[in-house]
């Protein structure tokens, strides 16, 4: 345990391998660091993952350990006992599956119960290994245009997305984990992949607010965090949403009343390149309303950011207060004990009954 107390800073960064090296430790101990995001390269088995998260927490108990673990094709931990959760599209399909023996209302109820079960299994397994937060759920609508979103989306219908996301969030909460809705206000219409391109969505503000942004409005207090899209909506602002005061402050904070954490998406992605350098991108994102900025897969850029980013004391205090609310609310259950836990077994049994998992 560290001998001194630090508060989480605005930078979330990654680590190189399966255990911390000297450079990882230096970056994590930087006062500007507030989070560590893990990737598949950081996982070989549960024991190793649990040791890695314990190493991080020993250095910085206040650091939030996160991961992209949605289910389907975006699931970092796939082996050594982790449940391979379904893509969220399967839950949306279950909602709409009406046949001779199942009324639509019953299908909707089944889908919501399955979403809660998914959230509980997802969070319980990650918490058992010391991970604090998964960047889920995806709230983008599936317009059939974006390959990077595709079956990660629950549905084209914002009401279905809202209902299933709220149910998934409840499963996360029951296991002690917060949530992060993404990618505000919506990445489902823009065809380009912001990892390698700069997506543009030409629709009007009214169209987006009346469709894509509805799940954010309806989820209200059940939404703990939001990640904006690296998408430009030129009818609203020349800047991508994650760098836009209009989207983050005027619309998300003021109009929709969101009071949780705002994470930038990864500043190393091509969609963030319009901001210029990584430091300029971080400054723009924080000025626009983000509480935390992500820098992934580029240790050199993480070093540049930690060496040059300046954040006011007031901004740091506000963001640290919000970030602290994302810490797990209950201790994680150890993996072996989890395998005998009634709630966990019930959730997995229900998903298996619906043929959503093996």
Domains of the chain, each with CATH number or no CATH: 11-353 (3.20.20.300)
336 annotated active-site: no
Residue from 24, 201, 265, 266 carrying the catalytic annotation: 265
Per-residue pLDDT of the chain (358 residues; tens, 9 = 90+): 344 467 889 999 999 999 999 999 999 999 999 999 999 999 999 999 999 999 999 999 999 999 999 999 999 888 789 999 999 999 999 998 754 455 666 789 999 999 999 999 999 999 999 999 999 999 999 999 988 899 999 999 999 999 999 999 999 999 999 999 999 999 999 987 666 678 899 999 999 999 999 999 999 999 999 999 989 999 999 999 999 999 999 999 999 999 999 999 888 865 456 656 899 999 999 999 999 999 999 999 999 999 999 988 878 888 889 999 999 989 999 999 999 999 999 999 999 999 999 8
Given 195, 220, 287, 300, the catalytic residue: 195
Q: How many residues are listed for the chain in this entry?
A: 358
The packing angle between helices 104-128 and 342-353, to 10°, is 130
Distance CA 188, CA 191 (A): 8
Q: What is the pTM of this model?
A: 0.93
Both tokens assigned to 17: 């391998």
Q: Which residues 6+ apart lie within 8 Å of 158 measured at CB?
A: 141, 211, 212, 214, 215, 218
Is 346 a residue of the active site? no
Cβ–Cβ < 8 Å for 158, 210: no
């Amino acid at each position: 345990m560290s001998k001194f107390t630090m508060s989480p800073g605005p930078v979330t960064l990654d680590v190189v391998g399966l255990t911390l090296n000297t450079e990882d430790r230096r970056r994590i101990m930087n006062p500007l660091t507030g989070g560590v995001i893990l990737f598949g390269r950081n996982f070989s088995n549960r024991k190793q993952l649990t040791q890695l998260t314990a190493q991080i927490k020993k250095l910085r108990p206040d650091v939030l350990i996160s991961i992209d673990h949605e289910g389907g094709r975006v699931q970092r931990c796939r082996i050594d006992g982790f449940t391979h959760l379904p893509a969220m599209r399967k839950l949306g399909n279950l909602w709409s599956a009406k046949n001779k023996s199942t009324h639509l209302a019953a299908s909707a109820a089944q889908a919501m119960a399955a979403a809660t079960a998914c959230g509980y299994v997802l969070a319980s397994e990650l918490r058992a290994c010391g991970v604090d937060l998964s960047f889920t759920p995806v709230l983008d609508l599936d317009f059939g245009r974006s390959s990077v979103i595709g079956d990660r989306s629950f549905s084209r219908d914002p009401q279905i997305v809202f209902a299933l996301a709220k149910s998934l969030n409840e499963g996360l909460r029951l296991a002690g984990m917060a949530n992060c809705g993404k990618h505000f206000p919506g990445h489902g219409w823009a065809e380009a992949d912001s990892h390698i391109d700069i997506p543009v969505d030409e629709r009007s503000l009214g169209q987006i607010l009346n469709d894509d942004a509805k799940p954010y409005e309806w989820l209200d207090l059940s939404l703990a965090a939001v990640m904006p899209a690296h998408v430009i909506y030129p009818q609203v602002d020349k800047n991508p949403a994650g760098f836009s005061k209009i989207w983050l402050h005027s619309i998300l904070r003021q109009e929709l009343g969101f009071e949780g954490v705002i994470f930038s998406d990864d500043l190393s992605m091509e969609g963030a390149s319009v901001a210029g350098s990584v430091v300029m991108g971080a400054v723009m994102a924080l000025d626009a309303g983000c509480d935390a900025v992500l820098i992934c897969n580029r240790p050199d850029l993480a070093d540049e950011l930690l060496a040059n980013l300046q954040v006011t004391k007031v901004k740091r205090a506000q963001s640290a207060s919000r970030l602290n609310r994302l810490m797990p609310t209950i201790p994680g259950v150890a993996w072996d004990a989890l395998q005998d836990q009634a709630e966990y077994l019930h959730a997995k049994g229900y998903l298996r009954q619906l043929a959503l998992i093996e």
